[in-house]
Structure 1
């Protein structure tokens, strides 16, 4: 029979010392990882899943699109290219027990119906969709001056109707921004070019019955203090007023934020509420504005900020009825991300989420970032996801996200996915 000598005090001490060393080492590793996570702005518990990869050609490709979601959880968006004629699509993604089902609702021809539909569609209460296409239609522009269109859902099928042909004259050209709809069914949008000064317009489309629409320009950009080149972000409608940004122009040439107020006679007056100043202030806003708490507005810029790599900013009202701006975060490049084109979304806790078009992982495929509010008006930025590119992840998010019913978010990337032709993803923040 084998006997085992009882452990001596020294061996017990050594055993405890070894175990203590291991535990201490593990504890130190956890501390280091935690500190590294905070230092590099990582939010480790967030999850992201690609729910659809575009295959190119008839399936659609280059999904530079905002997404909208209906009450049944279906997602809608556009691809700039692909489809039956290579000129872009409107698509639907439907959740099922076996994943998401992709359906092309319409393929553009680049003829009279338009082509290259950027930035997605807008959903009305009846389930119809509205959007713009930057080419096709009529007018004197090479390839056409673009259109605004409606997709009508009836009897399980979809039909497309052009509701305005842009001429490239006073009505603008190349409408590359999504449309905003009010409770009366009026649509509002922006063009980056055309208009009386060639610098873009803000327009209104009003239904007048029998499928007809009335188009009118409600502001023509001058390139002066009002700005120029209306951004690709859709207008924000709040309390009967429209809020938006112009990418360039303004008092400092770095873009503007503006408010459009209607009169009782139906005329609109534009007021510049902030002229971006450029580095270290924000500059060159591309994405739209988000309405947050306390009537504050939030947005992103592609350039400027402290590092000239873009920023997140806040606009708030002053006691005198004016507006003031402050930069909440300046992107640092590298793993932090840079050059945001994104709108922002907000969760129930007041956290802001958006995307950067570049930076992040080694492929510089972009990021999802989070800004968390703290005491005394402070904000802390963290990187929630760094896109890895094909085949398993998206790449280059040129748009923000839309909020789902369960507190998750959905977004699109112009590349990535299995075929590198674009992807739609679901992002769930850490809880």
Structure 2
């Protein structure tokens, strides 16, 4: 299995007592599982990087919302320095989100508050990638010169300070707007990503972004705007296949308006050519894919649809040259329903993921699907009582211990989400409650 573990969208790790690894599918790789975020209660002051430790009756670690960020909706990434980096959608000095750092001993530092300048980005919903130059790159959904979102760069300076640069401001009519996913760096060194909407039909686009030389600013060399029959409104990150092409999904558009799986080829002049691999019909093949694709060890691509299938509750599918083969149609009830997160292929060759609903208690599941299509519910959320995790919205990663880790958007002690662990045999532990 690749060291680039497919992953999930992680919230701030609050009160966790166990080491694990985290990253965001198609965005980052974390191969060190020795991160220990263990922790006294603390409060970060408005001054970047300054912390004040304080006692708390319940011992729960807290990030002060106004200045230190809240609602982290994206995954984390490990830097070359061994520290962990991420974003929050809201909070910070200007309540427009933050970039933060977590050291292995659990010290949290706010590196950047979005909104520090008139054209700064705002409200990141995706994680960052570590570029080949050692800097971090990410996107914000809003802000920039036109308030249509940005791509930003965060550079860690030798003296320990941080420099954030708006590398690109999306201009709605020309290059699309409102990126909801991060960028990936292709094998050619350029950055690729998607925007949810454009001025050409409001259907989103795939873009290829190059660096201006010299300097830290970028320009969109080419984009491919979706037109509807070829897909519309991508909500998941791209991946680069073993063949060098890029692959992804759109949640709508296609022949039936139910979404597509697509391939993007880069022509010799840098322009982008799209091929629809499959148009979902909303019938037995599924509809509304909200997660991206992964490439299996066999070279085929795998993914999920949120709805459709013979039971109307979503599917797990394999992309083949002549369309898709449905490996499993979720049944609801004791089975799961409505997967939102990406699949991963475990070290045993099977595929693992989560459903947002369904299961014994109708609040989500962790499942396994063999390459031949046999599905097993490993765990139904709610089985361990009222403070159990519930309603996962993201996929899983597999830790170096063989267990699977993920997040839920609800449940836990405070019913505002958790980080959980599930062993391959289906034993679940809530590691922390937000």
> Which residue pairs with 1:264 in the alignment?
268
1:104 aligns with 2:110: yes
Query: What displacement does 1:59 show?
Result: 4.0
Greater percentage in strand: 1
Q: Give yes or no for contact 1:66–1:412 (8 Å, CA) kept in 2.
A: no
1:66 aligns with 2:65: no
Describe the SS at the equivalent of 2:357: coil
Q: Does 1 or 2 have the higher relative contact order (CA < 8 Å, sep 6+)?
A: 1
> Which residue pairs with 2:219 in the alignment?
214
1:165 aligns with 2:174: no
Deviations 1:240-297 (A, max 9, x none): 2111111101011111111111222222211111111212211111111101022110
Rounded Cα–Cα distance in structure 1 between residues aligned with 2:250 and 2:193: 12
Q: Give yes or no for contact 2:222–2:270 (8 Å, CA) kept in 1.
A: no
Cα 1:217/1:335, change in 2 over 3 Å: farther
Query: What displacement does 1:92 show?
Result: 3.6
Describe the SS at the equivalent of 2:111: strand
Moved more, 115-124 or 409-418: 409-418
Rounded Cα–Cα distance in structure 2 between residues aligned with 1:116 and 1:66: 15
Deviations 1:207-241 (A, max 9, x none): 233212121342110011x1111223334443221
Rounded Cα–Cα distance in structure 1 between residues aligned with 2:191 and 2:386: 38
Cα 1:126/1:195, change in 2 over 3 Å: same
Greater percentage in helix: 1
Describe the SS at the equivalent of 2:148: coil
Moved more, 297-306 or 66-75: 66-75
1:342 aligns with 2:338: no
Query: What displacement does 1:422 show?
Result: 4.6
Rounded Cα–Cα distance in structure 2 between residues aligned with 1:430 and 1:269: 44
Cα 1:119/1:368, change in 2 over 3 Å: farther
> Which residue pairs with 1:193 in the alignment?
197
> Which residue pairs with 2:208 in the alignment?
204
Cα 1:263/1:233, change in 2 over 3 Å: closer
Q: Which runs of 5+ in 2 are unaligned?
A: 1-17, 21-36, 39-60, 427-434
Q: Give yes or no for contact 2:168–2:217 (8 Å, CA) kept in 1.
A: no
State the TM-score, normalizing by the size of structure 1. 0.75
Deviations 1:64-86 (A, max 9, x none): 22343456765443322233332
1:82 aligns with 2:91: yes
Rounded Cα–Cα distance in structure 1 between residues aligned with 2:111 and 2:384: 27
> Which residue pairs with 1:14 in the alignment?
none
1:152 aligns with 2:152: no
Q: Give yes or no for contact 2:335–2:358 (8 Å, CA) kept in 1.
A: yes
Query: What displacement does 1:147 show?
Result: 1.0
Q: CA RMSD in A?
A: 3.1
Query: What displacement does 1:311 show?
Result: 1.5
Q: Give yes or no for contact 2:344–2:351 (8 Å, CA) kept in 1.
A: yes
> Which residue pairs with 1:121 in the alignment?
128
Aligned 1:386-401 pairs, distance under 5 A: 386=381, 394-401=389-396
> Which residue pairs with 2:364 in the alignment?
366
Match of 2:249 among 245, 263, 281: 245
Rounded Cα–Cα distance in structure 2 between residues aligned with 1:81 and 1:429: 35
Deviations 1:335-382 (A, max 9, x none): 4332222111112211212222334464x5433322234xxx232232
- Structure of larger gyration radius: 1
Q: Give yes or no for contact 2:381–2:389 (8 Å, CA) kept in 1.
A: no
Describe the SS at the equivalent of 1:244: strand
> Which residue pairs with 2:25 in the alignment?
none
Deviations 1:32-59 (A, max 9, x none): xxxxxxxxxxxxxxxx999687646144
